Amino acid sequence: MNMTRIMVGLALILGLTACGSGPPSQFGDSAPFGSNDDQCASANLRNEADDEQVLDVAIECLRTEYEAGRPVTVDVDIPTVEGDPIFRRYHVTGEFILIVDDSRADEYGQGIVRARTCETLEFGDGMPEGTDCDSVNHPGFPEAN
């Protein structure tokens, strides 16, 4: 009887481990890139003539929500010259700003995930930049493997 309980317990532990249900990161699970259900659409750039306009719409939405103090997530797919994607996520909450760059799909790049939490966002020409940032661990985006 005790051996049966031990075997059932081990099976449950192994099953949970195999399903990937470990403790979540401090920022929750990493949602697939582009799945943000916020009011701001993802920007998928393709080295085409309208890329600047597509980026401007996404960044202006991010700026509007950020300045209003509302939580928002904006994903930007930035292609390299060769066309490989570099995924960037801006995740703004009332507690922190998380910026994640996932370059694992860049054949000629470093192939890493770089994540940082920042105090503020600065908007200028191009992509917003975080200020007073600290590096953090983050898994990146599932489809960017």
Domain boundaries, the chain: 39-144
Q: What is the pLDDT of residue 38?
A: 64
- In this prediction the pTM is 0.76
Q: Which residues of 109-137 are buried (b: 16+ CB within 10 A; e: fewer)?
A: eeeebebbbbeebeeeeeebebeebeebe
Q: What is the pLDDT of residue 141?
A: 81
Low-confidence ranges of the chain (pLDDT < 50): 1-25, 144-145
* The residue to which tokens 């990146």 are assigned: 140
Q: What is the pLDDT of residue 80?
A: 94
Question: Is residue 61 left, alpha or beta, with left meaning phi > 0 and alpha meaning psi from -120 to 50?
Answer: alpha
